[in-house]
Amino acid sequence: MNLVESTWMALTALAANKGRSALTMLGVIIGVGAVIALVSTGKGAQMEVLSSLERMGTNLVFAIKALDVPAAQPLTMDDAGAVARLPYVETVVPQIGGFMKVTYQAESSTSNVFGTTPEYSWVHNADVALGRFITQADEDTAARVAVVGLQTADDLGTRNLLGRNIYISGLPFTVVGLLEPRGSTGFLNRDQMVLIPLSTAISRVTGDDSIYYLSARVTERDRIPDVQRSMGTLLRDRHRIGPDDQDDFLLMKQTDLQDMMGLVTNVFTALAGGIAAISLLVGGIGIMNIMLVSVTERTREIGIRKAIGARRRDILAQFLVESIILSLFGGILGIGFGVLLAWAAESVLRFHIGVTPSAVALAFAVSVGIGVFFGVYPAWRAGSQDPIDALRYE
Partner 1 sequence: MPEPPVIDMRGISRVYRGEGVLVEALSDIDLRVDPGDFVAVMGPSGSGKSTLMHIIGCLDRPTSGTYHLMGEEVARLNGDALAHARLLSVGFVFQTFNLLPRLTALQNVELPMIYAGAKSRQRRERATTLLRAVGLENRTGHRPNQLSGGERQRVAIARALANDPKIILADEPTGNLDSRAGAEIVSLLEGLHSRGRTIILITHEAQVAEHARRVLTLSDGRIVGATGIVGAKGAEEATR
Distance CA 43, CA 262 (A): 10
Find the shortest distance in angstroms from Cβ 295 to partner 1: 15
What is the spatial distance between Cα 182 and Cα 153, in angstroms, rounded to a whole number? 14
Name the residue among 319, 325, 324 with its Cα closest to residue 379.
319
Half-sphere exposure of residue 369, counting CA atoms within 13 Å on the CB side?
A: 9
For partner 1, the closer CB: 186 or 383: 383
Among 58, 162, 391, 393, binds partner 1 (CB under 8 A): 391
Minimum Å distance from CB 386 to partner 1? 9
- Shortest Å, Cβ 313 to partner 1: 7
Residue 55 or 300 with smaller CB distance to partner 1: 300
Q: Is 189 helix (H, G, I), strand (E, B) or coil?
A: strand
Contact window for partner 1 (CB under 8 A) among 171-179, 219-227, 280-288, 383-391: 383-391
Site pattern 333..372 for partner 1 (x: CB under 8 A): ----------------------------------------
Q: Find the binding residues for partner 1 in span 16-45 (CB under 8 A).
A: 16
Please identify, among the stretches 32-40, 57-65, 176-184, 385-393, the one whose residues bind partner 1 according to the rule CB under 8 A.
Answer: 385-393
What is the distance between the alpha carbons of residues 272 and 374, in angstroms, rounded to a whole number? 23
Distance between CA 133 and CA 92 in Å, rounded? 17
What are the backbone dihedrals phi and psi of residue 87, each rounded to the nearest 5 degrees, phi first?
A: -65, 150
> Cβ(77)–Cβ(208) under 8 Å?
no
**Residue 289 CB, nearest approach to partner 1 (Å):** 22
Closest CB to partner 1 among 65 and 312? 312
The nearer residue to partner 1, 313 or 352, going by C-beta atoms, is: 313
Q: Which is nearer to partner 1, 9 or 202 (CB)?
A: 9
Distance CA(94)–CA(213), nearest Å, equals 6
DSSP letters for 225-276? HHHHHHHHHHHHHHTT--TTSPPSEEEEEHHHHHHHHHHHHHHHHHHHHHHH
Which one, 5 or 78, has the nearer CB to partner 1?
5
287-316 residues in contact with partner 1 (CB under 8 A) are: 300-301, 303-314
The residue among 323, 317, 290, 381 whose CA lies nearest residue 390 is 381
Taking the least distance from each CB to partner 1, the nearer of 325 and 345 is: 325
Which amino acid would we find at residue 143?
A: A
Distance in Å, CB of 312 to partner 1, minimum: 6
**Half-sphere exposure in the Cβ direction for 236 (13 Å, CA):** 14
3-state secondary structure of 358: helix
Query: Interface with partner 1 by CB under 8 A: which residues?
Result: 1-2, 5, 12-13, 16, 300-301, 303-314, 387-388, 391
